[in-house]
Copies of this chain bind each other. A is one copy, B any other.
Amino acid sequence: MLPTKEKLYEIIFEADTKSGKIFDITLLVIILLSILLVMLESVPSIENQYHQLLRISEWAITIIFSIEYILRIWIVRHSKTYIFSFYGIIDFLSVLPTYVALFFAGTQGLMVIRALRLLRVFRILKLNRYLKESAIIIRALKQSRIKISVFLFAVITLVIIIGTIMYLIEGAENGFTSIPRGIYWAIVTLTTVGYGDISPATPLGQLLASMVMIMGYAIIAVPTGIVTAELSKHNHPNISTQVCPNCLSEGHAHGAKYCSNCGSKLN
């Protein structure tokens, strides 16, 4: 590997050095700009008024992204690994639409895939102090994975049953035109979103809906309780800051007199 290539690798793929951080943040700003651009293009009134400016900006960003993409392929040791990785595919797809639009009309819609580049934002989490805090959240979510699966399982079963019953009670004349629509209503209600695009009209339906709402009120306590209990686990007041003078192990309880790892006396 050439020294230049190695240095570029550090800048583009890593975030430990100062220039690496600058690159990451600059890229993030450009990604945010590119997303803002896609958003503005989707607003008809803005698109009509600033058509020329938006076209130029789009090409500018596409060219920057293309250079970045080519650099990444050139620099990385195993090009194929990058090209077929999750980020590699997104990087490719986010430059494609502008070029394809030269030949075919109507492919601008694909530009929205650029929003997925926003996921790179999470690389910034690797920077300094965000790392530890986000790790705590992610670990808590991972550890409550099974509990949350069981919970979602129960909720899905519940909304299918409730949605089916409501379809029978209310029927098509009150907007519950099919069972899937009844289930959609049950989810809207149980999660306390409550659009109001479908709402029960019969007294019996309203009684059942009231019960579902109060249930939803109590059910929301479950995921909250799961995540909170998990996050609170790291709240241990009983772990002292003592370090064993013999084996250097940590995490001893307050009041511990002997190291729980090697058995030598603690201070």
Contacts and interface: CB of A to CB of B under 8 A. Distances in A.
Interface string A246-259: 00000111111111
A147 B160 contact: no
A189 B178 contact: no
A216 B153 CA distance: 16
A245 interface: no
Interface string A188-201: 11111111110100
A188 B180 contact: no
A222 B210 CA distance: 19
Interface string A223-251: 11111111111111110000000000001
Interface size class of A (residues with CB under 8 A): 35 or more
A34 to B, nearest CB: 12
A260 B251 contact: no
Contact of A228 (B149, B164, B229): B229
A261 B257 contact: yes
Contacts of A210: 183-184, 187-188
Most buried by B among A161, A164, A251: A164
A12 to B, nearest CB: 22
19 contacts: A42-B167, A43-B177, A43-B179, A44-B178, A112-B167, A112-B168, A121-B157, A137-B151, A148-B218, A155-B214, A180-B203, A184-B209, A184-B210, A191-B216, A192-B193, A221-B224, A228-B229, A251-B253, A258-B263
Interface of A: 35, 38-39, 42-44, 109, 112, 115-116, 118-119, 121-122, 125, 129-130, 133-134, 136-137, 140-141, 146-157, 160-161, 164-165, 167-168, 177-181, 183-184, 187-197, 199, 203, 206, 209-210, 213-214, 216-218, 220-238, 251-265
